[in-house]
Amino acid sequence: MNFLTVENIAKSFGDHILFKDISFGINKEQKIAFIAKNGEGKTTILNIIAGIDTADSGKVVSRKGLHIAYLSQKNDLNQDLTIEAAIFDSDNPILKVIEKYEHALENPENEDAYQKAFELMELHNAWDFETQYKQILSKLKFDDLLQPVSSLSGGQQKRLSLAIILINKPDLLILDEPTNHLDLEMIEWLESYFKKEKITLLMVTHDRYFLERVCNEIIELDGGNIYKYKGNYSYYLQKKEERQLQEQTELHKAKLLFKKELDWMRKQPKARTTKSKSRTDDFYEIKDKAHQRRVDHVVQLEINMHRLGNKILELHKISKAFDDLQIGQTLPVVTHLHFLHAISRAILTCLYFSWFCITTFSFFDFFFNPIFCTKEWLSTCNSNLAHSSCLT
């Protein structure tokens, strides 16, 4: 079932064309990663699909009644609410039922209110929903629901926005860098959540591990063109390399053909037949194709790796203060560092380089030292002979 279709959208800022004639579709239960180089318009396209921005041309067509939720990089939570109030500040009818039930539990002396709330929970079958909603809050580490939103850090507010979106269960979930403010435990939980839930995703993320394990389709914006890959990130890398090799082959053929046609153009007289005019028109198309160039960043990604879960650094009884403001006194912290792999590679590289230098010097010493010694001996002999001649 098709949820949404993007038809020939374009966007520019002044004279700079960000993208044009972009088209693709999103179907039910697809988990799509949108990939492009920085500055090619990933976030702008997400904003257009979510209705926050508008395209200069083209259109976005969605199924009637489609509920779209967008986790952007900007914070739009109401700072005057508590965490609980922010969660229930929604049009979701089941959340309204749960909210009434939660209030009834806080006032057990009002038996009539409790009975009505209980019946509404039964009517809407909200018990499973309540269990899942509490699990989401727990996994994203929200325990004090009466805490004001304004007291939360930027990362905590981003996590709260993610929790609210997951609780509301939209038809289409659009995510812009969803793992930026999550720790390793939260990311692994979110991975498993998306795997088991029948949810439709469109997301932008630089977390290749998350992308590899969650998404089943890749849409790439490259050089103004859209490429689609039915598979995970490893499959995408393989097929992209094959595509680029094919493009290089076609480009080489186009250059050879252009050289041939250029010679023909230079030899032709001014008066041309209908056939030659057609060939002339084709020449300019071949010229454009032959002069295409790719500007690629050389990136090496290792997919068959695992996140490091072992404890690398442990700090005990740390504290920090700014004037009279005490930040985290005697706070035990355990940090997982993801750059251990990079450090180990650097150490191995240094060891390899040292081995290479030692081997090279040994090679030169073995082969060339005898030659130098021979030259030195011959020089001594010649000197002795010359001396003998002089005496004679």
Evaluate if residue 304 carries a pLDDT over 50.
no
Averaged pLDDT for residues 133-141: 90
Residue carrying structure tokens 């809050």: 137
* pLDDT score at 45: 93
Q: Please list, in sequence order, all residues whose beta carbon lies within 8 angstroms of the beta carbon of residue 383, skipping any fewer than 6 positions away.
A: none
Selection from 13-22, 259-268, 380-389 with the highest mean pLDDT: 13-22
Q: How far, in whole angstroms, is CA 68 from its chain's centroid? A: 21
281 pLDDT tier (thresholds 50, 70, 90): low
**CA-based end-to-end distance of the chain:** 110
Provide the percentage of residues in the chain whose pLDDT is more than 70. Answer: 70
Query: For residue 136, which of 102, 201, 182 has the smallest C-alpha distance?
Result: 182
Beta carbons of 42 and 22 less than 8 angstroms apart: no
Alpha helix locations (H) across the chain? Answer: 42-50, 83-88, 93-106, 111-123, 127-139, 154-168, 184-196, 208-214, 233-267, 274-290, 340-391
Evaluate if residue 346 carries a pLDDT over 60.
yes
Beta-bridge partners for 235: none
Q: Please list, in sequence order, all residues whose beta carbon lies within 8 angstroms of the beta carbon of residue 134, skipping any fewer than 6 positions away.
A: none
Averaged pLDDT for residues 264-285: 62
Q: Are strands 325-335 and 217-222 parallel, antiparallel or unpaired?
A: unpaired
Average pLDDT of the chain is 78
- 165-179, 275-289, 351-365, 367-381: which has the minimum mean pLDDT? 367-381
Query: For residue 33, which of 241, 237, 212, 188 has the smallest C-alpha distance?
Result: 212
* CATH superfamily of the 1-67+170-231 domain: P-loop containing nucleotide triphosphate hydrolases (3.40.50.300)
Evaluate if residue 326 carries a pLDDT over 50.
yes
pTM: 0.64
Could you report the per-residue pLDDT of 239-248, keeping only the tens digit for each? 888 888 887 7
171 class by beta-carbon count within 10 Å (0-12 exposed, 13-18 middle, 19+ buried): middle
Query: For residue 73, which of 171, 157, 184, 183 has the smallest C-alpha distance?
Result: 157
Radius of gyration of the chain (CA): 33
120 pLDDT tier (thresholds 50, 70, 90): confident
* pLDDT score at 104: 85
Could you report the per-residue pLDDT of 184-239, keeping only the tens digit for each? 999 999 999 998 888 999 999 988 889 999 999 999 998 888 999 999 898 998 88
Neighbours of 247 (CB within 10 A): 13
Evaluate if residue 256 carries a pLDDT over 90.
no
9 class by beta-carbon count within 10 Å (0-12 exposed, 13-18 middle, 19+ buried): buried
Give the three-state DSSP class for 96.
Answer: helix
